[in-house]
Each structure stands twice: as C-alpha cells, then as structure tokens.
C-alpha cells in the first residue's frame, strides 16, 4: 500500500477567525492561542493582518519571533503597503511565507474592485513579483475562486506562477460550492494551468451551506495538500472549515482518504476551550468533536450499548482528544443500567430493590427538568440507602451583592465523614467568586477552579438555570453540574459536586494502589 498523503494544516484562527462578529482577540492574548496552536502541531499559523493596526502588527511580530518551530504566514492584499507590513512583521520567523490575495470573480471585480480582468492579472503579477524580493514562499489566493469563471482562474494562476508563486489557494469564499464542484476546480487548474504541476495547492472553504469540511475533503481528493482551517470553525458569517472536524475526519477515515495530518489530537479539546474562552465565543452543544453533546448519550438504548462496547455508538474515542467528560447524560430517556453504572462510578452499590426505587425517583425528577445531575442522583441514593457517600455537602448559602460594596458569601459546609458543620466567609469581585472562595476553605485539597458555564433550561422568570463547573485536581479535569432557579446556588452546588468527584476518585485510586500493594506483598511472601 502507498503511504498516506501528508496534509498540511494552515490555521487562520487569529486572522480570519478573529473576523467573526463578537470574537475579537486582544493582541496580547493572541500569543496565548498561538502557543497552543504550536502544541497542537499546526504546520502554518496566520497570526493576523499586520497592516490593520499597530497592535495587530506587534502581535504578528511577537508570534513570529517566539514560535520558531512553526511556519508563519504574513497576510496581505495585493498592495505594496500590506506586503511591506507583512514582511516586516514576520522577518524574525525561522520559516515564513507571504500570503497574497486578490478577487477573481466577476461579482467582486465589477462591484467591489471595479477593475477589469486584465487589470487584476497585472496587479497580481506585479505584487507577486514585488513580494518575491523578500520571501521564497508565496501563497496566492484567488478570492471567490469557486464563483469565478474557470478560464479566468486558470489565466490568473498561470500569471502568478510565472512570477514565483509557490502555493495556489483556491478559496470557496462564500461557502457556495458543492463538493463535486470544488474537486473539479482543483483538477482543472492543476491539469490546465501552465506550471500547474510545479506548485502546491491549498483550499480555504467557508461554511455558509454547512459544506466547508466536505468541500475541503473534496479538494484533498483532487490534489490539495494544504487545508486552511480555524479552531471551532469560527470566521466570517457561518465560519470556516473547522480544524477539529477536518482533522478527525481525516484521522477516522484515513484509509478511505489516503491522507494524514501531523496534528496531536490529544490537544484538540484544550485548544478548543482556550479559543472559546479567550474570544468569549461559546461552542454549540451539538458542535461535532468539541460540542458538549458530541460524546454524551441520553437514550437508554444507546447507553446500554455504550456500556457494553463503546464502538456501538461512537466512532471516535473522546479520551484520545483530551475530552475527559462522562459519555452518558442522565435524563428522562436513560435506563436503569446507566443509573447503576453511574452510582458504581461513585462507589455506591445498590440492591435490585434499591435501584428500582432510585430509578423511580430519578424518572420523576427527570420529567421536570430534562436532566438529572450527579449530585442529585447521589442524594437520591443516599436517602434510600441511608448513606452519604459524597465527602462534602452544602447546607446553607448566604450571598450579599450590591453596587456600593464588595460581594460576600457565607457558606455552611457539612463534612459527611466527620458529621460536622462549619461556616466560612469570603469576598470577591463577583458573587460567584465569593462563593467559590468560601467553599474552598472547607475542602482541604489542591483544587483549581477552571471554568463556569451557565445555561437557561427554560424561559420566563421561573426558568431553571444549569451551572457546569470545571476544576483541575492532580492534573485531571472534573466537571460538576447542578440545576436550580437560583444560578448562584447552582454554581455553588456544581462546584462542590466537582470537588466531591475529584476527592472520591483520588480516594478510590489510593485504595486500589493499597490493595494492589497488599496482593503483591502476599505474592512475594509466598
């Protein structure tokens, strides 16, 4: 069998991705994302549009200087001032390219550029030649290529190749093309353009019709060896080809595609979270790969199959991508097998009769609020089995907030192992910070609060809010969930739930290590 074709991943999260309405990034935060992109294994990073502002220029310059292991692309219109800024900002990169673009469709030429085809070809020639003085690698993009006349695209590509362009990008700028049309475009240009077999090809697809990944895969099958992507698929309008979707499509179906990437898939989820948090741009629940529901299952049939063998209802392993969340969501469609499995994860053993009673109460709660949190399930089990397996419980919470004072919180926390209650007080810039500070005083473990998500589960003044809290303990991430009409209380309960999970997991690990050590000692003695 022939070796898979290596596909370069060109990331434009920091340039095209930042053009998403409401998703701008402060220049000093761009370097944070760029570092993570390097850890992810991105081949080429496009850090921004250097000519657009002094802050943008400085950000591109810093990334080019620091990330010496990644190729840096300087983005520029076919304008000398843009090229000069891009060249200067990237001059300290170990490897760099100039990425030039100009429109090629008659729609753009007539209504935006107001130039003839001959004028555009001449501008493209001159600017590629000008850029070639400074860099060896020049990527040329024929913007809106998928809506351009095929003959003109070929003429334009021939012109820039003759002036030294080394990479030809054929963008589906408006997300208009069908996969067969993208494949045809690449095949035609590669075959018919003079010098077309001497350059590399790249695809830059937008997602207006939801076809960005499909069109990018079609381009690969037609000879493209580079795909331009953004993390979480962010970008103009409906966004760009999603990095995580494309990479995992290639990873999962590499035999069918005959392709592979150099992406470290274990960094995918962390990269997605960093971009989402830094840009204040939430991820849709049903977003493939990184969405909250991507590897979560509520249907009892699916849950039963999943517990027997993960491959029954999953084609990818979430753990391989760094996704450390439960695969099963407990809701009104869940079966008793899933309930039993979740309780066992917390070390709670039940008889058949107890499980039946717990399941009946579970169904009553699930009918009213869609999903049931682990904390609620543990409480149900505790009430019916006369146990409280979770180490800590929130007994009381008082929060004071206002415009003229610091926010303060007082909590009463029960230590279930000792059977004692103690109260703690803390202040913070916001009520949630104060609440977390107060609870943290009660829990003697090194736990780092990472993230809080708040979601409304219904409408109106009496809506339930869902709080999802992520923490880090001993290098592992834990998530706690709680539902309440009071979102501050829900946040507190979710935080305690996450802490309980971390403490109980660490405790079980110690018990298993101890048991293993005892067995080994007995074996040696024999």
pLDDT at 523: 45
Q: What are phi and psi of 20, to 5 degrees?
A: -60, 130
Q: What is d(CA 451, CA 474) in angstroms, rounded to the nearest whole number? A: 16
Residues 291-296 have a mean pLDDT of: 78
Q: What is d(CA 285, CA 295) in angstroms, rounded to the nearest whole number? A: 11
Greater model confidence, 396 or 326: 396
pLDDT at 326: 57
Residues 345-352 have a mean pLDDT of: 79
Q: What is the pLDDT of residues 230-283, one digit of tens each?
A: 999 999 999 999 999 999 999 999 999 999 999 999 999 999 989 998 888 888
Residues of the chain within CATH 3.30.160.270 domain(s) are: 392-512
Whats the size of the chain, residue-wise? 526
Q: What is d(CA 93, CA 64) in angstroms, rounded to the nearest whole number? A: 5
pLDDT at 366: 81
Q: What is the pLDDT of residues 61-90, one digit of tens each?
A: 999 999 999 999 999 999 999 999 999 999
pLDDT at 371: 75
Residue 126: C-alpha distances to residues 108, 133, 138, 323 (Å):
20, 11, 13, 48
Mean of pLDDT over the chain? 89
Check whether 96 has a pLDDT greater than 50: yes
Residues 6+ apart with CB under 8 A from 413: 392, 393, 394, 395, 421, 422, 423, 424, 439, 442, 443, 496
Q: What is d(CA 384, CA 378) in angstroms, rounded to the nearest whole number? A: 10
pLDDT at 275: 94
CB atoms within 10 A of CB 403: 4
Alpha-carbon 91 to chain mean position: 30
Residues 6+ apart with CB under 8 A from 51: 57, 76, 81, 82, 85, 86
Location of structure tokens 């009409």: 485
Nearest one of 477, 452, 449 to 466, comparing CA atoms: 452
Q: Assign domain 392-512 to a CATH class.
A: alpha beta
Alpha-carbon 377 to chain mean position: 29
Greater model confidence, 439 or 511: 439
Nearest one of 113, 218, 128, 115 to 164, comparing CA atoms: 128
Just give the CATH number of 5-279. Answer: 3.20.20.70
Crossing angle (nearest 10°) for helices 300-308 and 336-345: 50
Q: What is the pLDDT of residues 130-158, one digit of tens each?
A: 999 999 999 999 999 999 999 999 999 99
CB atoms within 10 A of CB 156: 25
pLDDT at 343: 82
Check whether 486 has a pLDDT greater than 60: yes
Residues of the chain within CATH 3.20.20.70 domain(s) are: 5-279
pLDDT at 225: 98
């Amino acid at each position: 069998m022939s070796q898979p074709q290596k596909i370069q991943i060109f990331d434009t999260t920091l340039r095209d991705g930042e053009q998403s309405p409401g998703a701008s990034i402060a220049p000093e935060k761009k370097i944070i994302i760029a570092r993570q992109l390097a850890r992810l294994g991105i081949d080429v990073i496009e850090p921004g549009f250097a000519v657009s502002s002094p802050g943008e220029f400085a950000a591109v310059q810093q990334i080019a200087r620091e990330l010496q292991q990644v190729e840096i692309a300087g983005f520029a219109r076919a304008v000398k001032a843009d090229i000069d800024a891009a060249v200067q900002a990237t001059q300290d990169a170990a490897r760099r390219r100039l990425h030039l673009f100009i429109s090629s469709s008659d729609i753009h030429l007539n209504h935006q550029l107001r130039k003839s085809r001959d004028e555009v070809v001449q501008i493209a020639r001159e600017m590629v030649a000008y850029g070639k003085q400074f860099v060896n690698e020049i990527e040329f993009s024929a913007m809106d290529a998928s809506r351009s006349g095929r003959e003109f695209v070929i003429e334009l590509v021939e012109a820039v190749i003759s002036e030294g362009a080394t990479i030809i990008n054929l963008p589906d700028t408006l997300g208009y093309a069908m996969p067969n049309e993208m494949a045809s475009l690449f095949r035609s240009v590669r075959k018919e353009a003079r010098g077309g077999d001497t350059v590399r090809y790249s695809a830059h697809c937008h997602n207006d019709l939801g076809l960005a990944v499909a069109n990018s895969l079609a381009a690969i099958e037609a000879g493209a060896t580079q795909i331009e992507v953004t993390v979480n698929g962010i970008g103009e309008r409906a966004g760009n080809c999603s990095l995580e979707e494309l990479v995992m499509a290639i990873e999962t179906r590499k035999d069918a595609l005959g392709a592979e990437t150099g992406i470290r898939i274990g960094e995918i989820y962390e990269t997605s979270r960093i971009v989402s948090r830094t840009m204040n741009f939430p991820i849709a629940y049903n977003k493939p790969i990184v969405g909250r529901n991507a590897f979560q299952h509520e249907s009892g049939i699916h849950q039963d199959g999943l517990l027997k063998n993960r491959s029954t209802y999953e084609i990818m392993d979430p753990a391989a991508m760094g996704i450390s969340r439960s695969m099963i969501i407990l809701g009104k469609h869940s079966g008793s097998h899933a309930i039993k499995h979740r309780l066992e994860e917390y070390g709670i053993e039940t008889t058949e009769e107890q499980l039946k009673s717990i399941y009946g109460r579970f169904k009553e709660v699930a009918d009213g609020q869609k999903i049931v949190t682990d904390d609620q399930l543990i409480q149900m089990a505790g009430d019916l089995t006369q146990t409280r397996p979770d180490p800590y419980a929130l007994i009381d919470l008082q929060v004071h907030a206002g415009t003229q004072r610091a926010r303060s919180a007082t909590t009463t926390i029960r230590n279930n192992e000792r059977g004692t209650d103690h109260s703690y007080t803390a202040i913070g810039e916001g009520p949630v910070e104060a609440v977390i500070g107060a609870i943290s005083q009660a829990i003697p473990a090194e736990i780092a609060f990472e993230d809080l998500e708040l979601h409304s589960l219904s409408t109106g003044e009496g809506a339930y809010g869902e709080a999802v809290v992520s923490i880090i303990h001993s290098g592992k991430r834990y998530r706690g969930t709680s539902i309440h009409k009071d979102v501050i209380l829900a946040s507190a309960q979710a935080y305690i739930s996450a802490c309980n999970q971390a403490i109980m997991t660490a405790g079980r690990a110690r018990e298993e290590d101890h048991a293993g050590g005892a067995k080994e000692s007995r074996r040696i003695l024999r």
